[in-house]
Chains A and B, each alone.
Chain A
Amino acid sequence: MSSSSAHLCEQFAEAMQRMLDGEANSLSEPLESHRIECDDCRRFAESAANLTVALADLPRLEADEVLTSRIIAAVEADRAIPPPKRHLTRRIVTAIVVIAASIAVLWFAGEWTSVGRTNQMVSSHSVRPPAAKVKSNPSSFDMRDNLEVVAESIASLTRRTASDVIGPARDVFGLGVEMDWLRGPAEVRDHANPAMDSLQELRHGAAAGFEPIAESARRALAMFTRDLPTKPSTKP
């Protein structure tokens, strides 16, 4: 096969794609002549054209009324749910916890830096630091103790804020415990069910409110642990 013939075949293929794409209505005169002369190109063009027609005629999956109703019901149910309320209290509490955790981390980082600086001073000037600030033996420097202090502080903050926010509701509505005050004859309990549903929502809301606080604390701890140096600097 000559190179000019192959070149024409390639041009023909590109032109066919443009036609199949709807970007051209006809072939140029040289390519039309080529189509007549070249069996390969002619048959390939026929196959491609047949495929395009078949693709357009593919039976479509029609959505039936059942699906339509299902979608509309789901949309209506979704619209009936109010958008998630981001209570100001929850935001404030979360912000406080994050700030407290950040301060704790920064405070500890500052302590760490001062220990490192003091150690450098100890080495370079042979001055004994105060025992209360830095332990005389660097090997006794135990990061875990400090980490536990910070962890406990954050956990304490978390517990306290959770208790402050959720505690009163728990006390009033008996969240998380059996609601003894609603016990009574079956018919009374049946009538109380709608009210109980509301309380269940409150319970879930309280639990959901706690989650960001706990998450913030966990995140702060994880970041703190991640950023800890693996070994105290003892270089002079």
Chain B
Amino acid sequence: MIDDRILVKRCLEGEADSVRQLVERFQTDVLGLCFRMLCHRQDAEDVTQEVFLRVFRSLGKWDSKRPLRPWIMGIAVNRCRTWVVQRSRRPEIVDYLHETVADRTPIDAGDLSEEIAAAISELRPEYRMAVNLFHEMSMPYDEIAEVLGTPVGTIKTWLHRARSLLIARLQKRGIMTESAEAQTKAFVGKVQGK
């Protein structure tokens, strides 16, 4: 695989193949993050397109001493935030965003992925991003911190809280066994009550 720096250089020289390669290299990550943030595929695709437009417009400003992926993901995060703000100003389309997990009937454990995805969609945006970047994209802490413009310690805190919330919500939805739920609740109570 061509090094990111070489790829960028070729893109800046106008090589069409390199443009395609760069898009293909990062589009799934960008789309995944956008989808986690926006909870809507069409919106996620629209924002992904916007992200790449901005990436190519600013490619000349990228500092080649730093990794490319966090830079691109940082642009994606900013575009998602902007999109969320813009979307909140358009009340007519809010309805389609996502149904709440609480509205659904209990499901089988076989639908765990779907249920976890729904639980993630109910997390705070910063938790959602941290979970997506760390667990789904396996991005290291320092890169996540760079993407989100937040200290590493804060990222860890977000992740810890996000995991605890996910476990609690999944238990509430009956995803975990009763005994596990009771035990976990007892565990959390024990730690919190100390």
Q: Which residues of A contact B49 (CB under 8 A)?
A: 67, 70-71, 74
Whether B44 and A61, one on each chain, are in contact in the complex, defined by CB atoms closer than 8 angstroms, is yes
CB pair A55 B160 closer than 8 Å: no
B92 proximal to A (CB < 8 A): no
Tell me, yes or no, whether B84 is within 8 Å of chain A by CB.
no
Q: What residue of chain A has the Cβ atom nearest to residue B183's Cβ?
A: A43
Decide yes or no whether A211 CB sits under 8 A from chain B. Answer: no
CB < 8 Å neighbour of B113 from A59, A67, A79:
A59
Contacts of A7 in B (CB 8 A): 194
Q: Is B97 an interface residue (CB 8 A)?
A: no
* A56 touches which of B19, B135, B159, B187 (Cβ 8 Å): B135
Among A44-52, A191-199, A220-228, the one that faces the other chain is A44-52
Q: Decide if A55 touches B187 in the complex (CB within 8 Å).
A: no
A165 in the interface, Cβ–Cβ < 8 Å?
no
A76 surroundings in chain B (CB, below 8 A): 16, 19
Nearest CB in chain B to that of A14: its residue: B160
Q: Are A41 and B194 in contact (CB under 8 A)?
A: no
A68 touches B24 (CB 8 A): yes
Decide: A44 and B183 in contact? CB cutoff 8 A.
yes
**Which of A41, A48, A59, A75 meets B52, CB within 8 Å?**
A75
Residues of B within 8 A of A (CB): 14, 16, 19-20, 23-24, 27-28, 31-32, 35, 41, 44-45, 48-49, 52-53, 56-57, 112-113, 116-117, 131, 134-136, 138, 141, 156, 159-160, 163, 166-167, 170-171, 176, 179-180, 183-184, 186-188, 190-191, 193-194
Other contacts beyond A40-B183, A44-B187, A76-B19: 4, CB < 8 A: A6-B193, A48-B167, A52-B135, A71-B49
